[in-house]
Amino acid sequence: MGEDSRPLLGVPKIHKVLRKLRHKHHCAYKASTLKKCVVFVILLSIILIIIYSQYIGHSPSYLTGLIQRSNRPEPNIRCGTMNGGPRIPQNHDHKTEARLRSYPKVLVFVETIYSKLGRDIAELLVHTRIKYKVEVAGKSLPVLTNLDKGRYGVIVFENFNKYLQMDKWNRELLDKYCREYYVGMIGFITPEEETFVGSQLKGFPLFIHTNLKLKDAALNAASQILRLTRAGETAWGELPCNDWTVFQANHSTYEPLEWAHRSDDYQPTESKFPNLSQSFFFKILLGNVRTPLPTVIQDHGLFDNIQRVIFGSGLKFWLHRLLFLDSLSYLSHGQLSLSLDRRLLVDIDDIFVGEVGTRLRPEDVKALIATQTRIQTMIPGFKFNLGFSGKYIYHGNSEEDKGDDLILENVDKFMWFSHMWNHQQPHLYDNLTVLMEDMMLNKNFAKEKGIPVDSGYSVAPHHSGVYPVHELLYTAWKKVWNIRVTSTEEYPHLRPARLRRGFIHRNIMVLPRQTCGLFTHTMLIEKYPGGREKLDESIQGGELFQTIVYNPINIFMTHMSNYGNDRLGLYTFESVIKFIQCWTNIKLSSAPPLQLAESYFKLYPGESDPVWGNPCDDLRHQKIWSKNKSCDSLPKFLVIGPQKTGTTALYTFLSLHPAIASNLPSPDTFEEIQFFNAHNYLRGLDWYMNFFPVDSNSSHYYFEKSATYFDGELVPKRVHALLPHAKLVTILISPAKRAYSWYQHTKAHGDIIANNYSFHQVITASDTAPKPLRDLRNRCLNPGKYAQHLERWLTFFPPQSLHIIDGEELKSNPVEVMNEMQKFLKITPFFNYTEHLRFDPKKGFYCQVVSGDHTKCLGRSKGRQYPPMEEKSLKLLQRYYLSHNTALVKLMKRIGLRNIPNWLKEDLSDSPA
């Protein structure tokens, strides 16, 4: 058997062992190969990273942006017209002679002053500058007529059931008004917890089914209502909310305006609704009807001679906002029609400015030009408006520097405007010469590079100095660039953006500018707040779309960084322009900024005068306010008048208080600034603030007294805008005595008309009298309509902000009046006026105590004795002011003042019947 006694292996076993050995060797070989491959891939990746890092300027963090370039979304608006489909002709002009029967104003009945849909309706009317009045349904009707015209062109019910359930008297009165003055009605069926199936609207051959979930809305192309809105498309997808109402009618007066389909996941069973009265609704519930369901319906007035539009849902669905505006136009016979013309300007700020990796490369510039060319097929003459700061040119990587070159090679393809040379905020400059030198650097750069310098338009970086106004900026703009128009989103600082308005300051027109959510820090669509879905929502019926629909002139602010990477800006504007063309009959056009500004203030001349808001109410405004201004120096209360009631005496008494400080005197109007009611207002906030120097003693309680504020029509709004938390002090005496005192005062100051006419001639002057005499009459009598003017103040300020002083008590007992005033103002320390005021028998009123026993009284013009008023003039004025005095008593009781002044009681008791 030999040395080894083990048996020999059989052949099959040898094969098995060999297979195992080969498999083991193969696996080892595969493992070795795999390792080599992994090492190769890693090395290749490192090499590519190094190459790309060199290529993009040593900015590895921006590799994500590079990857993003290969995934740029393109505008994808589902629209048959945009894809070559037929466009349904619609050119409805709603104007008829019936529009002459009423005024262009909307009367809105709401359930409560806090109801959501009511606020949405009012907000939409504000956006579109349509006048309106809100009334709570259920109360008595407001006055509906004015002589032979109706006060309102359309009646709107937030909840149509409130109209159906009106008491018979009011319902008949309202219906009669609508018929006689050809006034239409809009109603909304609001959601209720109970579901109605086949329920008949009270008194109408119209049936409803409520609380449905719907999808895929479309419009009736044959409807005469459509004007702003264009039919022919479908709003695909689920409609907002699950509480829609649909309609069925059995009368020819009704015509659907909008349809939708039942959502597929709405599957009620027959057992849930055993008492169906209408087979139509029965089929809807069981899903057997695939035909569209009417969601907005028009009543042609064939049933009761009143035209209506009834909505089966509120304004959350964007299409309903358009239909609501068209319904206002149609039902008002064209009185409340919005123009179909819209002008669009897109600013691209920060050209040549930006960090490496955020700037434009050559392919981005080419895309900008290509997109502009496509937009020009939809908006003739459209050009992007580029704002530049020359100092930072060629501060990118090699590709971005080539992008700068390509922009300059295509200078003539764009419009241009100037930023600052170094992108510095203008409010940081307190020297005009230095500010102008910075601007001149940018101007010289523009001339060197062939950039136009005559646009008359500029924008301050970060809106610095535009609002709050920095006067040096306006001066430098004029001297260096001959600027005539700018734009900002900082005035007024309102949300939503479509509420912004313009103004003119120092002959520079300031247009409202929309950000449309594209800020410097928003560079990628995926980084847009809320993501792509939120951006598309804004474009397709949302905020951006509505901004253009509601505003005839739109200037949008974007930045250079929005046009690189995935080109967020290009996607946004091309998409919204297509969506507007798809769903509206709006005619889009473009024009240079100066032309837009002239058009804007021709449309809205009432916005020429600014309304100075308070910079202290907004952190961003505080940061861009001139550094020599302080919130502490703004007045905390105002003495608003009226004239000849004792305001100068009150001013003197207040000035005695160590914690109270008044404004510096004016060289023209002495202690009164007269800012809010005169041409001084147009001089600007800096001019006003110069009367309130910054004081190291911030505990000072600043105030201003201008007796002409009381009856100024614009004054309450202006005061509230700048001083929303201010307290107001007014002094009232008998309006008849006030009028007489004012006449004598005017006469003593040499007024020619007052010296040529007696007091009785002035107050009895007719409307056919010479204009100077009529003007004197009005200035004499109008301030005494106390209740009318106080109501205007109380529109903007709460009652607790108002302190009314009895002028007769101020004269006879000033110490008590001043003590009450200190309590109202909550001023500390409490000042003892007993030691500082004393009655002077020679003057006949209280004066300031000085040097022990001596007194210092007001000047000779104060306390002047006049001949007594004629009895016939007194009786005439008591009769003239009777209704106004009666209204004053009611107002005082309403705001909680129970002590009616004796002079008011006497005037009412002595008034002729």
Residue 793 has which token pair? 């103040």
Cα 770 to Cα 550: distance, rounded to the nearest angstrom: 45
Model pLDDT, residue 499: 81
Specify the higher pLDDT residue, 444 or 38: 444
Checking if the pLDDT of 69 tops 50, the result is: no
What's the rounded mean pLDDT across residues 431-438?
Answer: 96
Q: Is the pLDDT of residue 832 over 60?
A: yes
One-letter amino acid for residue 319 of the chain: L
pLDDT number for residue 700: 76
Active site residue 587: no
Average pLDDT over residues 501-517: 92
Whether the per-residue pLDDT at 61 is higher than 50: the answer is no
Which range has the top average pLDDT, 3-17, 135-149, 259-273, 494-508?
135-149
The pLDDT of residue 17 is 46
Lowest average pLDDT, out of 19-23, 182-186, 417-421, 901-905, goes to: 19-23
State the pLDDT at residue 838. Answer: 87
pLDDT mean over 329-338: 96
pLDDT greater than 70 at residue 292 = yes
- Span 17-32, average pLDDT: 52
pLDDT of 66 strictly over 50? no
- Here the tokens at position 364 are 């981005």
Q: What is the pLDDT of residue 38?
A: 62
- SS3 annotation, 546-614: HHHHHCCEEEEEEEHHHHCCCCHHHHHHHHHHHHHHHHECCEEECCCHHHHHHHHHHHCHHHCCCCCCC
Which residues are CB-contacts of 445 (< 8 A; sequence separation ≥ 6)?
388, 390, 391, 393, 421, 451
Q: Which one has a higher pLDDT value, 53 or 523? A: 523
Q: What is the pLDDT of residue 7?
A: 40
Higher per-residue pLDDT: 2 or 799: 799
Residue 357 scores a pLDDT above 70: yes
Given a cut of 60, is residue 425 above it in pLDDT?
yes
Cα distance between residue 107 and residue 118, in whole Å: 12
- pLDDT at 667 exceeding the cut of 70: yes
What length is written for the chain? 913
* Cα separation, 20 vs 524, whole angstroms: 57
User: Are 596 and 589 spatial neighbours (Cβ–Cβ below 8 Å)?
Assistant: no
Q: pLDDT higher for 565 or 40? A: 565
The 10s digit of each residue's pLDDT in 300-315 is: 999 999 999 999 999 9
- The Cα-based distances of 755 to 645, 744, 762 in angstroms read 22, 9, 11
Model confidence at 280, in pLDDT bands (50, 70, 90)?
low
Does residue 453 register a pLDDT over 60? yes
Average pLDDT, stretch 106-127?
95
User: How confident is the model at residue 462, as a pLDDT?
Assistant: 82
pLDDT of residue 865: 74
C-alpha–C-alpha distance, residues 713 and 719, integer Å:
11
Query: Angle at CA 896, nearest 5°, toward 891 and 897?
Result: 75
Joined together, the tokens standing for residue 164 give: 């159906």
pLDDT at 78 over 90: no
What pLDDT band is residue 403 in, cutting at 50, 70 and 90? very high
Predicted confidence band at 372 (pLDDT cuts at 50, 70, 90)? Answer: very high
Mean pLDDT for 29-58 is 57
Copy the structure tokens of residue 771: 């204009």
At residue 246 the predicted structure's pLDDT band, cuts being 50, 70 and 90, is very high
Here the tokens at position 121 are 């309706």
Annotate 610-633 with three-state secondary structure: CCCCCHHHCHHHHHCCCCCCCHHH
Residue 21 pLDDT greater than 50, yes or no: no
Tens-place pLDDT, residues 856-876: 887 655 556 789 999 999 999
Q: Identify which of 339, 420, 417, 409 has the alpha carbon closest to the alpha carbon of residue 383.
A: 417
Q: pTM to 2 decimals?
A: 0.83
Q: What's residue 271's pLDDT?
A: 45
Q: What is the mean pLDDT of the chain?
A: 88
Note the pLDDT of residue 295: 98
- More confident: 361 or 2: 361
The pLDDT of residue 619: 82
> pLDDT at residue 669 above 90?
no
Compute CA distances 650 → 448, 640, 821, 824, whole Å: 64, 11, 10, 15
Q: For tokens 């979304």, name the residue.
A: 73
Tokens linked to 898: 């129970």
**For residues 217 and 296, what is the distance between their CA atoms, to the nearest angstrom?**
10
Catalytic residue among 105, 443, 578, 644: 644
- Select, from the ranges 5-14, 54-63, 817-826, 843-852, the one with the highest average predicted confidence (pLDDT): 817-826
Alpha-carbon distance of 129 to 139, in angstroms, equals 27
Q: Which helix (H) or strand (E) holds 511?
A: strand 508-514
* Residue 10 pLDDT exceeds 60: no
DSSP 736-778: HHHHHHHHHHHHHTT-HHHHHS-HHHHHT--TTS-HHHHHHHH
Q: What is the pLDDT of residue 36?
A: 67
Q: Cβ contacts of residue 192 below 8 Å, gap of 6+?
A: 210, 211
Residue 50 has pLDDT above 70, yes or no: no
| Cα–Cα distance measured from residue 183 to residue 156, given in angstroms and rounded to the nearest whole number | 11
SS3 of residue 542 by DSSP: coil
> Is 387 a residue whose pLDDT tops 90?
yes
Q: Give the pLDDT confidence of 676-705 residue by residue, as tens digits.
A: 998 899 999 888 988 988 765 556 789 999
Does 12 score more than 50 pLDDT?
no
CB neighbourhood size of 832 (10 A)? 11
Chain Cα centroid distance, residue 204: 39
**Three-class SS of residue 518?**
coil
Q: Look at residue 86 in the predicted model and tell me its pLDDT.
A: 62
